[in-house]
């Protein structure tokens, strides 16, 4: 029982916040949201008395709006006197802009970290952040938890793939794919993806695959699917090797515009993601994973008191 903890149900993550509050048996604080004709958000919530407040708000698109709403809720909790405000942002917006890739670019993550801290956040929990290095901009405690185990469990139990092989569309995701493949007791390959930094065009470089994919079920694994271009190009490349079914699994399914249609047209059987972004593909619930992490943090704090 965590009656002295308030879970603030951010508008972007209402179901997730409700599930976390239920798992913790904590107070759920509903949030009233109004969007003005000019697009501005107005947040209204009841006063919080608890010292420990957890604001659950994933910052998927519209990212700026969801981020600003999170800042508003955190600020309210701080103003109400909560000394321990924890932000749970399963999808962390802007973590792809963690450095100045091209001359003159603003390092968005450096700014976002400051904004989150300025409103009184004491701790941040995120899930499979695109760039763990981007967390170095924060001065507060940050925890990046991995949903790979949950996704692998889902694949093993629900998909029951035939002679699966795990594929990372890029070398950056190789470690994740190794972990996932190990959990499924199988092998993996990592493709060589190049993205044009100006046009965002994706190319998969010609490479010799170190494992045969012929007749096998492919699990394309990524931290996130945004425009779907990486998955579409990976499918185009891999289908020449005559695989069986193709599944696309990720933590964050942003699926911008017609991404779903294009991914399906490229031959993907099913898209599976967590509920960091709610929707029909959100088949894996993050609530138990986040709750376990929160319990560990809160219990340690109580123990230290
Ligand atoms: C990039 O390195 C990431 O891991 C994802 O592969 C990428 O963000 C997916 O974006 P999109 O779906 O637009 O190709």
Per residue, the 3-state secondary structure of the chain, as one string, reads CEEEEEEEECHHHHHHHHHHHHHHCEEEECEEEEECCCCCEEEEECCCCCCEEEEECCCCCCHHHHHHHHHHHHHHHHHCCCCEEEEEECCCCCCCCCCCCCCCCCCHHHHHHHHHHHCCCCEEEEECCCCHHHHHHCCCEEEEECCHHHHHHHHHHHHCCCCCEEEECCHHHHHHHHHHHHHHCCEEEECCEEECCCCCCEEECCCCCCCCCCCCCEEEEEEEECCCHHHHHHHHHHHHHCCCCEEEEEEEECCCCCHHHHHHHCCEEEEEEECCCCCCCEEECCHHHHHHHHHHHHHHHHHHC
Entry pTM? 0.96
Count of C-beta atoms within a 10 Å radius of residue 44: 11
Q: What is the pLDDT of residue 209?
A: 84
Determine how β-strand 41-45 pairs with β-strand 2-9.
unpaired
Q: Which of 44, 193, 293, 302 is catalytic?
A: 193
Share of the chain above pLDDT 70, in %: 98
**For the stretch 128-140, what's the b/e string if a residue is b when 16 or more beta carbons lie within 10 angstroms of its beta carbon?**
bbbbeebbebbeb
Dig out the tokens for 91 from the structure: 């999808």
Distance, CA 233 to ligand 1 centroid (Å)? 11
Q: What is the pLDDT of residue 304?
A: 46
Res 303 pLDDT > 60? no
Q: If you average pLDDT over residues 161-186, what whole number do you get?
A: 97
The answer to whether the Cα torsion of 69, 257, 282, 89 is positive or negative is negative
Distance, CA 39 to ligand 1 centroid (Å)? 28
Q: If you average pLDDT over residues 156-175, what whole number do you get?
A: 97
Residues with CB under 6 A from ligand 1: 169-170, 172-173, 202, 222-230
Q: Which of 129, 201, 224 gets mutated to test ligand 1 (max ligand atoms within 8 A of its CB)?
A: 224
Res 276 pLDDT > 50? yes
Res 305 pLDDT > 70? no
Distance, CA 98 to ligand 1 centroid (Å)? 15
Distance, CA 83 to ligand 1 centroid (Å)? 37
Tell me the per-residue pLDDT of 62-88, one tens digit each, with 9 for 90 and over. Answer: 999 999 999 999 999 999 999 999 999
Dig out the tokens for 133 from the structure: 């290095």
Q: What is the pLDDT of residue 302?
A: 62
Distance CA 5, CA 52 (A): 5
Q: If you average pLDDT over residues 215-241, what whole number do you get?
A: 97
Tell me the per-residue pLDDT of 5-62, one tens digit each, with 9 for 90 and over. Answer: 999 999 999 999 999 999 999 999 999 999 999 999 999 999 999 999 999 999 999 9
Reply yes or no on whether 75 is catalytic: no
Place 240 in a pLDDT band, splitting at 50, 70 and 90: very high
Q: If you average pLDDT over residues 243-264, what whole number do you get?
A: 98
Q: At what angle do helices 63-79 and 108-118 cross, to 10 degrees?
A: 30
- Higher-pLDDT residue of 212 and 190 is 190
The answer to whether the Cα torsion of 103, 106, 109, 111 is positive or negative is positive
Share of the chain above pLDDT 90, in %: 93
Place 292 in a pLDDT band, splitting at 50, 70 and 90: very high
- Higher-pLDDT residue of 198 and 112 is 112
Residue closest by Cα to atom 10 of ligand 1 = 226
Distance, CA 34 to ligand 1 centroid (Å)? 32
Q: What is the pLDDT of residue 208?
A: 83
C-beta contacts of 207-214 below 8 A and 24+ residues apart: 209/241, 211/165, 211/187, 212/241, 213/165, 213/167, 213/189, 213/238, 213/241, 213/242, 213/243, 214/241, 214/242, 214/243
Q: What is the pLDDT of residue 168?
A: 97
Residue closest by Cα to atom 9 of ligand 1 = 225
Q: Which atom of ligand 1 is the closest one to the Cα of 230? A: 14
84 with 301: CB under 8 angstroms? yes
CA distances to 66, 113, 190, 273 from 20, in Å: 19, 24, 35, 18
43 with 76: CB under 8 angstroms? yes
**How many residues does the structure list for the chain?**
305
């Amino acid at each position: 029982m965590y009656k002295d903890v308030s879970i603030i149900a951010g508008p972007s993550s209402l179901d997730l916040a409700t599930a976390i509050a239920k798992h913790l048996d904590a107070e759920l604080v509903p949030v009233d949201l109004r969007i003005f004709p000019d697009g501005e958000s107005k947040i209204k919530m009841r006063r919080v008395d608890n010292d420990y407040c957890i604001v659950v708000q994933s910052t998927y698109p519209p990212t700026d709006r969801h981020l600003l709403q999170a800042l508003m809720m955190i600020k309210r909790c701080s103003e109400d006197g909560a000394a321990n405000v924890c932000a749970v942002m399963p999808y962390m917006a802007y973590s792809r802009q963690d450095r100045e890739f091209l001359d003159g670019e603003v390092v968005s993550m450096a700014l976002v970290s400051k904004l989150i801290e300025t409103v009184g956040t004491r701790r941040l929990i995120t899930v499979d952040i695109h760039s763990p290095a981007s967390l170095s901009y924060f001065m507060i405690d940050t925890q990046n938890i991995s949903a790979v185990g949950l996704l692998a469990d889902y694949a093993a139990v629900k998909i029951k793939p035939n002679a699966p092989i795990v594929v990372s569309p890029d070398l950056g995701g190789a470690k994740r794919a190794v972990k996932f493949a190990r959990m499924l007791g199988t092998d993996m390959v990592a493709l060589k993806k190049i993205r044009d930094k100006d046009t965002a065009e994706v190319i998969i470089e010609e490479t010799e695959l170190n494992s045969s994919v012929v007749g096998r079920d492919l699990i394309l694994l990524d931290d996130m699917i945004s425009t779907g271009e990486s998955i579409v190009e990976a499918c185009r490349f891999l289908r020449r090797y005559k695989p069986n079914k193709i599944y696309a699994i990720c933590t964050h399914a942003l699926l911008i515009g017609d991404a779903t249609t294009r991914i399906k047209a490229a031959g993907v059987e099913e898209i599976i993601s967590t509920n960091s972004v709610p929707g029909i593909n959100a088949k894996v619930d993050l609530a138990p994973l986040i709750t376990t992490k929160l319990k560990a943090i809160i219990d340690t704090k109580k123990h230290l008191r």
